[in-house]
Structure 1
Amino acid sequence: MSIVTSTLGFPRIGPRRELKTALESHWAGKSGARALLDDAAGLRAAAWARQLGTGVTHIPSNDFSLYDHVLDTSVMLGVIPSLYEWCGGPVSPEIYFAMARGTRGRAGGDLPALEMTKWFDTNYHYMVPEFARGQAFALASTKAIDEFLEAKALGIHTRPVLLGPVTYLLLGKSKDEGPDPLSLLPGLLPVYAEVLKCLAGAGAEWVQIDEPCLVLDLADAQRDALAHAYKVLAAAAPDLKLLLTTYFGGLGDNLDTALGLPVAGLHLDLVRAPAQLDDVLSRAPAGLVLSLGVVDGRNVWRANLPAILDRIEPVAARLGTDRLMVGPSCSLLHVPIDLDLETALDPDLRSWLAFAVQKVGEIAILGRAIDRGRNAVADELEASAAAAMTRQASSKIHDRKVKARLDAVTPDMTRRQKPFPARRPLQRDRLALPAFPTTTIGSFPQTEEVRKARAAHAKGTLGDSDYRAFLRKETETAVRWQEDVGIDVLVHGEFERNDMVQYFGEQLSGYAFTRHGWVQSYGSRYVRPPIIFGDVSRPRPMTVEWSAYAQSLTAKPMKGMLTGPVTMLQWSFVRDDQPRERTCRQIALALRDEVIDIEKAGIPIVQIDEPAIREGLPLRRADWRAYLDWAVACFRLTACGVADATQIHTHMCYSEFNDIIDSIGAMDADVISIETARSKMELLEAFATYRYPNDIGPGVYDIHTPRCPSIDEMTALLAKAAERLAPDQIWVNPDCGLKTRKWEEVRPALVNMVEAARRMRLASR
């Protein structure tokens, strides 16, 4: 019997971002719902065909989403808050996208979007399920069944994917003193059972149920919930084989729970947690199929196939091929689609890489090697081994000067000269700001005109001098507008920047960039993560010119803007031949040079953004301290080369920070700005017991929705913040940068923000 080779999920966006085009055309009113759904069907069909063509045998369905798979699960279950006015039956695209993005200008008022946060320790964002008192569940979407049948009609028998019921509940939140989410499990399971029965009736043989919660620290009640859930689900469709899928870590102390569930198969992430295989093999019940995630689904490096075969061939001999599956560590959602599109990459670097299509091909090669022997794929194995050897020895990776500088770092380089209480009066004297000072996070709208100019410059049809003149004009316009509306600390708008990581990475040694390596962050927001392939250094200043030019236009203080070292690391595909900590320290040293040069140019404030610091937190609490120690040290290594009168800001968004607030304080930034508007200042609950020592800007404007918050709404948020913070600690700012918004949305929102700050000043006198 041939071994099963499989994928757990495939990128949704299309090789050339076709989904983004379709979504934004629909949102702009240029195309209807039917056209959007037709485009989506075409993308699904192409993805299935692409995977089928490689020879893998289990291809997923229901891994596609118009926005987010967690939101899709909420819609499937009828978990739709009352404010969206759903009256039962199929959920319309209007309600679906209102939950995802909010609405603007509806009769009766705007609708906010659901809260959004990071998916485990990735840069993918999911829409947080919102549970209410008396929460009921009903099958409101048959998407999982429809897409299975859609593939079947094309002659492709797929393995449907569902987000597991326990993970789904643990990802959600109850509002307004609603129920404990886990208590909702009995009402939830009948809907899952109905879906499984429908899939069995449609002809499905296997269903993949993702329970990544099994790699977290779980309480006994949560383990009991898993046992109860799978007893119900296994009984719902007895002939259906369930593949329990875990990823992003090892099972650890949840292993007995996982092995005790009545499922046909268990998937293991053997990239993140290779050591767990021996324990599983020694304790797995007879007949359990093991799915080995041996190809990295979260990074772009080509697999060393002979080395992987050395590990899994003994497993195949022990279990037999009928009890074995081979696949990626997790869904390939987190990597770009096709390396073949990258014709401009350095040939050596290109030979070291594999994107989603190539990873599926690697999985198929492993399957053929196990089925037919290594000789059947000898050429492929030889090429894989040769790429691994040339990468390891390449002079393009190693820089002796960088290594020597890193080894020379001293503890004093990670400390400011004076503590914050002594720095604060020096900075206040220099900046002369009012109470509740206003600022923005950094970027202003990147209009179509800005994007066209950048594209024309990249193509060579707009010369350097003309492009610089254009950027100077945009910068001056933004500075003058900020002065006019009364913002206190200005930014230059970042019109010269393509992306907050890419812009810096393109100017650092050791980084490489793709042209089509897009990965979904949320909805239609895609990023092209850079590839850190070698030792990192800064050949020349990166941002000083634009910050200095902006400061020359105004007497108000200007912020210099940088992306911090942890975020530069987390939002990149990182080399895997040395510890991540070492790579991060290299980045920190390069950015430290930039911070010092910004200060020398006369800029009084430097903002070092670290939105990914929470994202990098290990999933197991026992591993937190080691990570937080080096992450905080890297931030401080970046920030601590300046004088005490220079104010250091940092920004973080869309993550839960309450449980690491002491480490956030240890970063010793003079001012931190965080997302709090969408969560209604929920993140400030940490300050009920923790006295944050420095200044803080709790965001009052949720920029990931087109709606404009009112003055009263912002003032109420600030008043709520003042219940937890001293008034002289509070800054006033949006939740995040304004790059993705339109000027017609931004202008009234920031005018309202300035007025809200003015009201707070009056109220505090």
Structure 2
Amino acid sequence: MKTIVLGYPRVGEKRELKKATESYWKNDISEDDLSLIASQLRKKTWRTQQDQGIDLISSNDFSMYDQVLDICITLGCIPERFKNLNGLEQYFAMARGYQANGIDVTAMEMTKWFDTNYHYIVPEFVKNQTFNLNSDKIINEIKEALSLGISSKPVIIGPITFLLLGKEKEEGFNRLELLDEVLPVYQELLLEIDKQGVEYLQIDEPILATDLSFQEQQALKKAYKYFSEIKVDVKYILTNYFDCYGENLELALQLPVQVLHIDVVRCSMQLDDILKTNLIGDKILSLGVVDGRNIWINDFEKSLQLIKKAQAKLGEDQVWLGTSCSLLHVPYNLELEEHNAQLKSEVKQWLAFAKQKLQEIMVLKQLALNEKNDTAMSFFVKNKKANNSRKVSALIHNNVVNRRVDNLKPTDSERVSQFSVRQQLQRKALKLPLFPTTTIGSFPQTKEVRQTRAKFKKGQVSQDEYDAFIQKETEDTIRFQEKIDLDVLVHGEFERNDMVEYFGEQLEGFSFTKFGWVQSYGSRCVKPPIIFGDVSRPKPMTVKWSSYAQSITKKYVKGMLTGPVTILQWSFVRNDQPRSVTCNQIALAIRDEVRDLEDAGVKIIQIDEPALREGLPLRKEDWKAYLDWAINAFKISASVVKDETQIHTHMCYSEFNDIIESIAQMDADVITIETSRSEMELLKAFVDFKYPNEIGPGVYDIHSPRVPSQEEIEYLLDKASSLLPSGNIWVNPDCGLKTRDWPETKTALKNLVQSANRMREKVTNVV
């Protein structure tokens, strides 16, 4: 019985890779310096798994930015506009765009990795695309591990997942038509891997967790038949995660691979489905029993039941134990939280981060093989005691909150009037111009802002000193927005560390880590709060700074809130009750905040829901149930206001076509979306649906250091106005400006305002 880890976090326990990468971008360190730090992180990761006794340790799960971008580079799938760049300069340009040395290229699109908060770079395909083996990264990491005495298990993204996660950039072909072109390059890669003496290769095909067409299933058969005919000694581990194989199970069982991995955390029922067939044959079954997506301790008793069931049918040699998916989605090490006063010891005993999950795998193996030594039995007893204590803990349950959820009525999620009535009332009350300009919320958080907040949390800065600092940053930002003549302002969010963490810190039922960093994209890391109990709002959370900002300007200032679905999705959520119940608890807390903002005189309130599409189940048969409660939770939070109060929401890096009807049901007065990287392509769903409410299609890609010109923004707005009524279009960036620097932000926003003015002139001239 081998133990297997599908992947490990890569940013470093204290975000060493993030800091090094951003220093490299600023030319503060060299490429060699960055490579050295990356190598040190990989070696530490491998040593950690080796020390815990893991048998199959991954290589090539490390990335400087994103694993999908890595496979694009490996396969030579590089869009033409980046061909004048080389090496890391080209690599990061594909992810972030590039504007220097006479070269100005936009970044590739970015979207969510299945139903996670991790963003991947979307491969771009054109008709007659060619591929070539273009990188030795995989081979170098295999050799690097071997230098430590570790015969690693390389990880690659499989050809069908690679193609289906990409996008055709011209019409007239289907990206699956490129399979015949890309398979020979995979063959070259497999032959090179085999030369290194690799025993097992992990091929990730998480697309198997989705609904696949007959054509897509046939492509899978073709690809793996092709692989089976390559003369190599390496054995293939086919991995799927995040859900069941579902209708793809029979196909997966028949593919010519030696090991099949299943996620029994998300879908324990598929183990029974496999065991009652005879299709598994002599394949090894890898059981993903330890959760790679959440931070709760394993329930050893439940896991052992699954393991024993598989052992009884297949035998010990045909069963492996491991993580459900890559541990990329969880923090590094719970031991780092030793002196964290915010993390109650009672809650801490219920948690396991990446390093602790390695221990869980090894203990489960020992218990499954009846190796009941003192260490294993001690872990088992401790695990059972902790899980039992969680079921009865007084920390978790709040009867007042539960009664309030139980008493929700259908009218609690409905505005007073329909949108057409509200729109006229809001136009009369707000008197905004055509193409009103605004931003999505946050402004650049400088080093000084971050340092001052850190000093305040450590008690090195008093409350009065901190408030004075935030007040000045807020006023300076208001004055800048007034100066460039933005129409609807924001206060800048300088008091906020993160759009979810900030709210969680002020809500009951949440706990927090100091070093629980998880990669969101590239160098962007977040510390997801931990929802361990019933959620409620003891007092107002945002009214103070929103009211202050509104008091110092005659222009409207938006109240800025994070929506209930996003707070849920971007937290580690309790797994002892339905997510829908937890989401309604959060929705009621946000509803109270919305009411208080309106009472304080805030006329425009934005409730961000960038994670709504992310939470969509992978199979369409499960969509309706999720969308029903998710949309209703947003409406609960937003529907407490008068008709004249304008409700905005924001979504980014999502495909909207399949859920556009549900987005319309949210009934937000204004929705802002990310569209700049796709050049307004995402607007098509709204146009085809005849979306009735107002839309702000993003015209400034804030995930890139590029500054869009006035002409570029105007080009995008022209495209938008050719698709939508001019009276329904807002002008705004794709997302918040927190990660940008002030100089580029100021230039971009000035260009944005000037472009909006030009659009108004065009409409006036036409009239």
Matched, 1:598 2:593: no
**Distance in 2 separating the partners of 1:612 and 1:237:** 44
SS in 2 for 1:562: strand
**Structure 2: which amino acid aligns with 1:484?**
K
Is the 8 Å Cα contact of residues 124 and 521 (structure 1) preserved in structure 2? yes
SS in 1 for 2:41: helix
**Distance in 1 separating the partners of 2:370 and 2:40:** 35
- Could you give the per-residue CA deviations for residues 666-707 of structure 1, whole angstroms, max 9, x where no partner exists? 000000000000111111111342111111100010100011
Partner of 1:519: 518
The 5 A counterparts of 1:525-540 are 525-540=524-539
**Structure 2: which amino acid aligns with 1:318?**
K
Partner of 2:74: 76
**Distance in 1 separating the partners of 2:54 and 2:280:** 26
Partner of 2:325: 330
Using the aligned pairs only, state the percent identity.
Answer: 55
SS in 1 for 2:99: coil
Structure 1 stretch displaced more, 457-466 or 220-229: 457-466
**Distance in 1 separating the partners of 2:372 and 2:246:** 33
Partner of 2:238: 244
TM-score norm. by structure 1 comes to 0.98
The 5 A counterparts of 1:40-439 are 40-86=38-84, 92-107=87-102, 109-177=103-171, 179-283=173-277, 284-343=279-338, 344=340, 345-374=343-372, 377-439=376-438
**Distance in 2 separating the partners of 1:259 and 1:310:** 23
Task: Give the number of equivalent residue pairs.
Answer: 759
**Distance in 1 separating the partners of 2:373 and 2:30:** 53
Partner of 1:713: 712
**Unmatched runs of 5 consecutive residues or more in structure 2:** none
Partner of 1:477: 476
Structure 1 stretch displaced more, 376-385 or 220-229: 376-385
Partner of 1:26: 24
- Could you give the per-residue CA deviations for residues 149-199 of structure 1, whole angstroms, max 9, x where no partner exists? 110111011111000010000011121326321110111011111111111
Deviation at 1:460, TM superposition (A): 1.3
Structure 1 stretch displaced more, 615-624 or 317-326: 317-326
Deviation at 1:307, TM superposition (A): 2.1
**Structure 1: which amino acid aligns with 2:500?**
V
Is the 8 Å Cα contact of residues 131 and 178 (structure 1) preserved in structure 2? no
Deviation at 1:462, TM superposition (A): 1.2
Deviation at 1:85, TM superposition (A): 1.7
**Distance in 2 separating the partners of 1:272 and 1:178:** 38
Deviation at 1:262, TM superposition (A): 0.4
**Structure 1: which amino acid aligns with 2:23?**
S
**Distance in 1 separating the partners of 2:438 and 2:671:** 12
**Distance in 1 separating the partners of 2:231 and 2:276:** 29
**Distance in 2 separating the partners of 1:529 and 1:237:** 45
**Distance in 2 separating the partners of 1:322 and 1:195:** 29
**Structure 2: which amino acid aligns with 1:195?**
L
**Unmatched runs of 5 consecutive residues or more in structure 1:** none
**Structure 2: which amino acid aligns with 1:461?**
Q
**Distance in 2 separating the partners of 1:81 and 1:152:** 34
**Distance in 1 separating the partners of 2:595 and 2:24:** 46
**Distance in 1 separating the partners of 2:541 and 2:99:** 38
Give the direction of change, closer, same or farther, for the CA distance of 1:704–1:178 in structure 2 (3 Å limit). farther
Structure 1 stretch displaced more, 325-334 or 283-292: 283-292
**Distance in 2 separating the partners of 1:488 and 1:460:** 38
**Distance in 1 separating the partners of 2:542 and 2:254:** 56
**Distance in 2 separating the partners of 1:124 and 1:762:** 41
**Distance in 1 separating the partners of 2:84 and 2:658:** 35
**Distance in 2 separating the partners of 1:299 and 1:285:** 29
- Could you give the per-residue CA deviations for residues 25-64 of structure 1, whole angstroms, max 9, x where no partner exists? 1111011111111111100000000011111111111000
Give the direction of change, closer, same or farther, for the CA distance of 1:178–1:529 in structure 2 (3 Å limit). farther
**Structure 2: which amino acid aligns with 1:310?**
Q
**Structure 1: which amino acid aligns with 2:189?**
V
SS in 2 for 1:608: strand
TM-score norm. by structure 2 comes to 0.98
Partner of 2:586: 587
Structure 1 stretch displaced more, 304-313 or 535-544: 304-313
Is the 8 Å Cα contact of residues 124 and 522 (structure 1) preserved in structure 2? yes
**Distance in 2 separating the partners of 1:192 and 1:219:** 23
SS in 2 for 1:722: helix
**Distance in 1 separating the partners of 2:192 and 2:299:** 40
- Could you give the per-residue CA deviations for residues 326-380 of structure 1, whole angstroms, max 9, x where no partner exists? 1111000000000000121211111000000000110011111223444562111
Is the 8 Å Cα contact of residues 128 and 178 (structure 2) preserved in structure 1? no
Partner of 1:563: 562
Which one of 1, 8, 17 corresponds to residue 10 of structure 1?
8
Is the 8 Å Cα contact of residues 193 and 233 (structure 1) preserved in structure 2? yes
**Structure 2: which amino acid aligns with 1:500?**
M
- Could you give the per-residue CA deviations for residues 551-586 of structure 1, whole angstroms, max 9, x where no partner exists? 001111110000000000000000000000000000
Deviation at 1:285, TM superposition (A): 3.1
Partner of 1:573: 572
Deviation at 1:75, TM superposition (A): 0.2
Which one of 30, 33, 36 corresponds to residue 35 of structure 1?
33
**Distance in 2 separating the partners of 1:463 and 1:689:** 54
**Distance in 2 separating the partners of 1:266 and 1:333:** 20
Is the 8 Å Cα contact of residues 191 and 232 (structure 2) preserved in structure 1? no
Is the 8 Å Cα contact of residues 76 and 132 (structure 2) preserved in structure 1? yes
Structure 1 stretch displaced more, 373-382 or 317-326: 373-382
Is the 8 Å Cα contact of residues 274 and 280 (structure 2) preserved in structure 1? no
Deviation at 1:145, TM superposition (A): 1.4
Partner of 2:744: 745
**Structure 2: which amino acid aligns with 1:70?**
V
Matched, 1:732 2:731: yes
**Structure 2: which amino acid aligns with 1:159?**
K
**Structure 2: which amino acid aligns with 1:300?**
I
